[in-house]
Chain A
Amino acid sequence: MTKDIIIEIENLSKKFKIGKNAGDLRHSFSNMFSFSREKPIEIWALKDISFKVEQGEVFGIIGPNGSGKSTILKILSKITYPTSGKAILKGRVSSLLEVGTGFHPELTGRENVYLNGSILGMKRSEIKRKFDEIVDFSGVERFIDTPVKHYSSGMYVRLAFSVAAHLDPEILLVDEVLSVGDMAFRQKSIGKMHEVANSGRTVLFVSHNLNAVKSLCKKGIYLESGGIKALGDIKKVIENYENSVLNYENLDATNTKIVNEIIETKEIVIIESQGNKSSLICSGDNINIAMNLLSKIELKDIRIRLEFKDKKNNVLFVCNNFLTGKTINLNKGENILICKISKLPLNTGIYYIDLIMVKNRQTIYSGYNIIKFEVTSGNFYKTGNLPSETRQFLIEHSWKIK
């Protein structure tokens, strides 16, 4: 039996422009009058994507950072427009791209439910009808007439999610919202997704969490650099993804996946405390991660992120120049960039690093497993003692009796 096609995507492409068009009048005027106008560099966030989703399906979209997963959802929810191609959606669409959008801290829970509901496209009468159910589901009945600025962050998120979960869409777009709230609530949320799917409606689920995707979806796609790498049965798609990206045995520099050609990494190495290149580090060492980046254009104010991961692809921590407040501008040509980490807090084991660069919120470089390194037992606590290998992190601490 064939079911109705509810989402049909045909040759969908999306182009972004990156470069010298900063948003002020000075640039516009100088662009208008100068003849040597420098063309902005174009990036295809999506290129010729086509797939179909049947009614009642929970359809998974997986793939690494910057592969275009979120761009698909943004196009389907009409937030951004495609450059070419089209998407046909049969039914009311709502997205859970972010819960709590439009919540105002000064307003009460009750007012925010109405506000958020109508922002999400519900009619007032509809919110009224579902109000009790929404409040029940959130579990914040007692504080519903308190301004939400007095809520704990958990309560806030629960109320916000509850509104979003009570939309009645025929097509639901979900982007990793299952990680919000506490465990009990997450169970509720997954339950809600099942409920939506079981009632014959369609869910598009974008996630990094392969286990969640496996348990919720039957079909899906694996995206990479804006194109479809695998399509169909979710088990095969996930297998394909794992083989391609998470293939640790054959890991080398060629595994780098680059989103575009603006930046090239000439060399990335770890320099240990003695000043030598090494991929064998003692825990507790001061290390420098040195990157030689070759940029085709001058790039102002870019965000560079190093994600440290364990063997199972769990991100353990990140180093990000945005977090430390350091502005990084890259010159045209070679740039040497160094990220210094004092007292590496990792226990013995194998680790990987992803390198991601973002300009104007657009990923311009995404390198997966660009470095593999091993940590061996070092003298972290200056006692020679270390916890067992199952404890991944080492934290500097001291004890005192008073």
Chain B
Amino acid sequence: MITVIENKKGLNLKQRIHELNEYRELLWTLAYRDFRVKYTQTILGILWAVIEPLFTAVLLSFVFNKVAKANTFGINPVLFGLTGMIAWNYFANVVGQGTGSLILAQNMIKKIYFPKIILPASKAIAALPDLLIALVFTLIFYFIYRDHVGFNLIYLPVFLLLTIVSAMSLGIWFSALNIRYRDFRHIVPFVIRIGLFVTPIAYTTMDVPEQFRWIFYLNPMTGIIEGIRWSLFGLQMDCNYFFISIAVIIMLFITGFLFFNKMEKNIADII
């Protein structure tokens, strides 16, 4: 094995992917550590994965459906809110944790070499058990309340995968920005808090005036959550709008990887 260390410009994609494959065990180990640490010395343990989205969903459905009278198309408002909330909760967790992941691990970064993209990426894996448990709970709820289950259900994993990809991409983006500009430590929680309301968690984009609707779909989670509703409840979904969200996700994924790669060289020097 020969390593040549020099100041090279540009990106050797094949080499990068090979290296990430070499370090895949570290990705799992770091994810396992985060997951373990999150629930040590808690009484309710993993139950928190259900409690948190459930209570937020109840609250949101109260605000949007009882107060603002949003249409849930005859679906139980809490179930309706919960289907959006589990995806949003995962997304918010991964992006929030990912943003600070490099700063938190600065000791490691300054002492050991590894592909640093693993740090924000591992947050997407560490939050998966939470997502799955909340999902199982939601599906139980769903099968109890739903007499008719559509064929669209088999597409649900696709939307979950899109959730993971978009959360990971944004986490990667923000972690790299946060290294250079610590302002993102304040910006990201703020954006996530606003996102809770501008993402159609307890309402649908049908309630949004037609001419503004495309703006909502610039938020990748809008397309994903509408997609989840489509697969679970067969609610109508406008494909043209949906593809705006998909395009945003793909763009975030590619640019996130490239931008991180550009920043990575200097992380240890400026952190």
Contacts and interface: CB of A to CB of B under 8 A. Distances in A.
Nearest to B22: A121
B268 A74 contact: yes
A368 interface: no
Given A80-B268, A114-B29, A25 B108 contact: no
A343 B94 CA distance: 55
B113 A98 contact: no
Interface residues of A, number: 44
B33 A107 contact: yes
A90 B111 contact: no
A97 B26 contact: no
Contact of B114 (A82, A111, A121): A121
Given A101-B107, A102-B108, A104-B37, A25 B181 contact: yes
B5 A83 contact: no
Contacts of A401: none
Contacts of B265: 81
Interface in B21-44: 25-26, 29-30, 33, 36-37, 40-41
A165 to B, nearest CB: 15
A23 interface: yes
Interface string B38-63: 00110000000000000000000000
B36 A107 contact: yes
A115 B29 contact: yes
Given A97-B111, A97-B112, A102-B108, A82 B6 contact: yes
Contacts of A170: 1
Contacts of A80: 268-269
Residue of B25, B107, B114 with most chain A CB atoms under a 10 A cut-off = B25
Contact of A87 (B4, B111, B114, B269): B4
Given A81-B265, A86-B6, A106-B37, A91 B108 contact: no
Contact of A115 (B33, B181, B268): B33
B146 interface: no
Contact of B6 (A24, A77, A85, A121): A85
B69 interface: no
A23 B181 contact: yes
Residue of B5, B40, B108 with most chain A CB atoms under a 10 A cut-off = B5
B179 to A, nearest CB: 8
B7 interface: yes
Contacts of B180: 23, 28
A88 B3 contact: yes
Given A74-B268, A80-B268, A87-B5, A24 B182 contact: yes
Contact of B37 (A16, A76, A102, A107): A107
A87 B113 contact: no
Nearest to A147: B40
A114 B25 CA distance: 10
Given A77-B113, A118-B26, A106 B5 contact: no
B114 A119 contact: yes
A364 B36 CA distance: 42
Nearest to A114: B29
B2 interface: yes
Contact of B110 (A28, A76, A79, A107): A79
A89 B179 CA distance: 29
Interface in A335-357: none
A75 B3 CA distance: 12
B29 A119 contact: yes
Interface in B75-110: 105, 107-110
A97 B108 CA distance: 10
B270 interface: yes
B207 interface: no
B182 A89 contact: no
A111 B28 CA distance: 13
Interface in B156-177: none
Contacts of A78: 3, 5, 113
A95 interface: yes
Nearest to A74: B268
Contacts of A28: 180-181
B143 to A, nearest CB: 37
Contacts of B5: 75-76, 78, 81-82, 86-89
A278 interface: no
A175 to B, nearest CB: 9
A49 to B, nearest CB: 12
A304 B240 CA distance: 62
Residue of A16, A78, A124 with most chain B CB atoms under a 10 A cut-off = A78
Contact of A89 (B2, B112, B181): B2
B25 A124 contact: yes
A98 B30 CA distance: 19
Interface string A115-135: 100111101100000000000
Interface in A150-171: 170
B210 interface: no
Contacts of B181: 23-25, 28
A70 B53 CA distance: 48
B147 interface: no
Contacts of A246: none
B268 A118 contact: no
Contacts of B2: 88-90
A149 B16 CA distance: 36
A120 B29 CA distance: 12
A90 B1 contact: yes
A170 B179 CA distance: 33
A288 B33 CA distance: 50
A111 B36 contact: yes
17 contacts: A25-B181, A25-B183, A75-B5, A76-B5, A79-B110, A79-B268, A85-B6, A87-B5, A88-B3, A89-B5, A90-B3, A104-B37, A106-B37, A106-B41, A107-B33, A114-B29, A123-B25
Top-9 shortest CB links A-B: A86-B6, A78-B113, A87-B5, A98-B111, A89-B3, A118-B29, A97-B111, A25-B183, A118-B26
Given A77-B113, A106-B40, A121-B112, 9 more contacts: A23-B179, A23-B181, A25-B181, A82-B7, A87-B5, A93-B3, A95-B112, A104-B33, A118-B29
